[in-house]
């Protein structure tokens, strides 16, 4: 991007736009497995637990474990270049998912998508924290968090159409293209806003202290714990709702993709925005600053149980839209809370630790756990039982967030 006062004033907006677009693609590429669940399950003869591994654990393992080492690179080096390379890598690995000819190959490809995506959140959170002043940071991070529902919307709705037109393999190939284009755009248009106080040289001896300080922070621990438990429900629902609507209502992939895309994408986007607004309104409540986030999770639990009693596809999609909205109330407040709890030079590491905990527990364990419940409950009520379990998971997450002070 050209230098000068006008360009410097525009840089934060351009950066936020590109970072949000990349985060959107991040979720397209990780979630597209959901919409092709039925053909993948049928081709490789998978049970629900195995599909839970594909949708959750395979991606989450390296995505989570590599987060902290990559965040150290982000804290010291060029975050823009790191993110551009990572975006290109996970896009190539998404295409590799479409080329898989066995369950094992698809499992490995999903793991490598996770390797590439590991840099996205820590580098992006750190960049946004440098581009925007503290009073503007929560809103900027909430805008960035829109990538979650928007990516889910695009991945499901467009993924269903792509799978219907080009097969499930073709859907993966198509999904790989936007990330490659955005990686080039980021590299060409955004410069890392290096500041004098930033640490650019290795300080290995300080790493244990950095991690220990974050873990020792009670607010940080409880925010991460609440987010992790809430994510078991959120990620588990996204992974298995495609199969739920296929098995219960016999819908086609485009119908499932459009219905779930609108429900989860639009509902989630509205929930992210509303969650930030309600947090600002009620953060001084005597019940604690995260009472609105906890209330959202409890409302989602109630609507989940109502949704299971519905016997109409359209009404069910609408109910799950409300679930997605209430489940998203915590995103912006928790993201901002974690950044506020961390020292300035450790913000990327704080975001990476949040990612580590949320994804190992939420994404790594959530879908396989729900798949295990579904298999044990039997084919007739299996997915209903798994989805009902999400309501009780939400109650636990709400209890944790209510303890944050």
The reply to whether the predicted model has a pTM over 0.95 is no
> Which residues make Cβ contacts (< 8 Å) with residue 272, sequence separation at least 6?
142, 145, 146, 148, 149, 328, 329, 331, 332
pLDDT at 208: 63
Mean pLDDT for the chain overall? 87
Q: State how far the Cα of 339 lies from the Cα of 221, in Å rounded to an integer.
A: 13
pLDDT of residue 1: 52
Spatial distance between the Cα atoms of 19 and 1, rounded to a whole number of angstroms: 15
Phi/psi at 327 (nearest 5 deg)?
-65, -20
| Interval 297-308 mean pLDDT | 96
Rounded mean pLDDT of 159-176? 94
pLDDT at 149: 76
What is the per-residue pLDDT for 359? 84
Q: DSSP state, 198?
A: S
Given a cut of 80, is residue 308 above it in pLDDT?
yes
pLDDT of residue 201: 46
Q: Which residues contact 253 (CB under 8 A, 6 or more apart)?
A: 35, 36, 38, 39, 160, 163, 164
- Residue 207 has a pLDDT of 59
For 247-265, write each residue's pLDDT tens digit.
999 999 999 999 998 998 8
**How confident is the model over 317-335, as a mean pLDDT?**
93
Amino acid 141: pLDDT: 86
> What is the sign of the dihedral through the CA atoms of 353, 354, 355 and 359?
positive
Check if the beta carbon of residue 401 is closer than 8 Å to that of residue 292. Answer: no
Query: CA dist 318 to 84, 169, 325, Å?
Result: 37, 29, 11
Q: Which two tokens stand for residue 197?
A: 């106080």
Return the percentage of the chain with pLDDT > 90, whole number: 55
Query: Domain 5-192+207-401 adopts which CATH fold?
Result: Growth Hormone; Chain: A; (1.20.1250)
| 3-class DSSP assignment, residue 390 | helix
Q: Is the pLDDT of residue 370 over 60?
A: yes
């Amino acid at each position: 991007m050209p230098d000068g006062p006008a360009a410097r004033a525009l840089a934060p907006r351009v950066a936020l736009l590109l970072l949000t677009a990349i985060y959107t693609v991040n979720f397209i590429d990780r979630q597209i497995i959901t919409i092709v669940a039925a053909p993948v399950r049928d081709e490789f003869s998978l049970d629900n637990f195995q599909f839970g591994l594909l949708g959750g654990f395979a991606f989450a393992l390296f995505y989570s474990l590599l987060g902290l080492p990559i965040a150290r690179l982000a804290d010291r080096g060029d975050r823009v270049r790191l993110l551009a390379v990572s975006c290109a890598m996970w896009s190539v690995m998404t295409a590799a998912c479409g080329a898989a000819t066995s369950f094992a190959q698809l499992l490995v490809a999903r793991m490598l998508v996770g390797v590439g995506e590991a840099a996205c959140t820590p580098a992006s959170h750190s960049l946004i924290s440098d581009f925007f002043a503290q009073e503007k940071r929560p809103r900027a991070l909430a805008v960035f968090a829109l990538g979650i529902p928007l990516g889910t919307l695009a991945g499901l709705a467009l993924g269903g159409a792509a799978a219907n037109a080009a097969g499930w393999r073709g859907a993966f190939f198509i999904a790989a293209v936007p990330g490659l284009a955005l990686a080039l755009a980021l590299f060409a248009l955004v410069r890392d806003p290096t500041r004098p106080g930033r640490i650019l040289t290795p300080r290995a001896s300080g790493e244990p202290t950095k991690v220990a300080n974050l873990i020792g922070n009670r607010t940080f621990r409880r925010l991460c714990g609440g987010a992790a438990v809430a994510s078991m429900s959120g990620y588990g629902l996204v992974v298995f709702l495609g199969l739920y609507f296929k098995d219960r209502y016999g819908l086609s992939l485009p119908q499932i993709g459009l219905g779930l895309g609108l429900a989860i994408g639009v509902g989630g986007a509205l929930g992210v925005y509303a969650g930030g607004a309600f947090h600002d309104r009620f953060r001084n409540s005597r019940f604690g600053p995260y009472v609105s986030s906890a209330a959202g999770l409890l409302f989602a639990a109630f609507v989940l149980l109502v949704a299971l009693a519905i016997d109409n596809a359209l009404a069910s999609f609408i109910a799950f839209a409300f679930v997605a909205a209430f489940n998203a109330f915590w995103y912006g407040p928790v993201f901002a809370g974690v950044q506020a709890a961390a020292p300035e030079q450790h913000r990327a590491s704080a975001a990476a630790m949040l990612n580590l905990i949320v994804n190992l527990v939420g994404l790594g364990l959530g879908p396989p756990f729900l798949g295990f419940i579904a298999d044990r409950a039997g084919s007739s009520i299996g997915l209903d039982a798994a989805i009902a379990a999400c309501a009780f998971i939400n109650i636990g997450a709400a209890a944790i967030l209510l303890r944050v002070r």
